[in-house]
Amino acid sequence: MRAIWVVGLLATACVLAGCQRADDAYGPNPMTSGRYAGIGTFDAGRMWSQTAGVAAPKDPAAAKLEDDEHVIVVIDTRTGEVRQCGDHSGVCVAMNPWSGAGGLTAPVSLKKHAAELDAEAQADEKTTAPEASVPSAH
């Protein structure tokens, strides 16, 4: 009877010896490893370059909104604020409507709206379209 008890105790000790906290066994928890967690990377799109209120960089070689190819979106794990930032310009727009913080916050002001850009594109197409050729009477 005592042998069964010892075997049971040893089996329990072996099982428990393999237990570790997940953080220790697999490295730091990816949900809490830093202040900002990545949401994704997206194409900048045509409206990104229309964001108003962005100060022109002092260095003429510095990237501008028009130079951004991607927008990187992250969440501040402490405040819940979501930020979308240009990959070259570094300009960020915060999406945190409850904070009332200054800076660029969504919804942003735009230089031109999508409908205006569409109308300009249609006008350009009309002016650059070749005239229909009219057969000449001989």
Interatomic CA distance for residues 18 and 132, integer angstroms: 81
pTM: 0.61
Residues 44, 84, 59: CA angle, nearest 5 degrees? 75
| pLDDT reading at 88 higher than 80 | yes
- Residues 29-81 have pLDDT tens digits of 555 568 889 999 999 999 999 999 898 899 999 999 999 999 999 998 888 88
Is the Cβ–Cβ distance between 92 and 104 less than 8 Å? yes
Scanning the structure block, which residue is given the tokens 């953080």?
23
Per residue in 34-48, is it b (16+ CB within 10 Å) or e — as a string? eeeeeeeeeebeeeb
pLDDT in tens, 6-37: 445 444 444 444 444 444 444 455 555 688 89
- Can you give the residue ranges of every domain in the chain? 31-54+63-110
